[in-house]
Amino acid sequence: MLNLSSVSLTAIAALMTGFLGTLFLYEALKRIRFSVANVMRATSPIILAFVSYPFFPVKLTTLNIFGAVILILSVLIIGVVDFKKHSTLNKKNSDETALES
């Protein structure tokens, strides 16, 4: 049976979750580039699956595991490529600064 208290608490939780997630994303964008923050945000379905499993035990299928592996690998690949690109740019900038001095 639904009562007003449970519906209102659920609505508040839903609104706060979206608000807090957006707030944290904007805080992350102040510190790191959008490409890195967006890739990290893409892992939220996997994190959510781990956090919610004790409350909602759902049987993992081969397709779910395969999708999680693809997601994790793509995040790692994009992170490594972005890190190499960023470190190369920093080295190039520091070399140019040393030459100008």
Report the chain (101 residues): mean pLDDT per 10 consecutive residues: 73 78 83 78 82 84 91 82 67 57 56
Q: 22 and 44, same structural domain?
A: no
User: Angle of helix 34-41 relative to helix 62-100, nearest 10 degrees?
Assistant: 160
Q: 90 and 48, same structural domain?
A: yes
Q: 66 and 46, same structural domain?
A: yes
For residue 1, the 8-state DSSP code is -
Distance CA 95, CA 101 (A): 10
Q: 81 and 51, same structural domain?
A: yes
Q: 50 and 6, same structural domain?
A: no
Predicted confidence at residue 66, as pLDDT, reads 94
Q: 96 and 59, same structural domain?
A: yes
Predicted confidence at residue 70, as pLDDT, reads 92
Q: Which domain holds residue 47?
A: 38-100
Predicted confidence at residue 88, as pLDDT, reads 67
Q: 92 and 62, same structural domain?
A: yes
Structural domains in the chain (count): 2
Predicted confidence at residue 9, as pLDDT, reads 78
Say if pTM beats, i.e. exceeds, 0.85: no
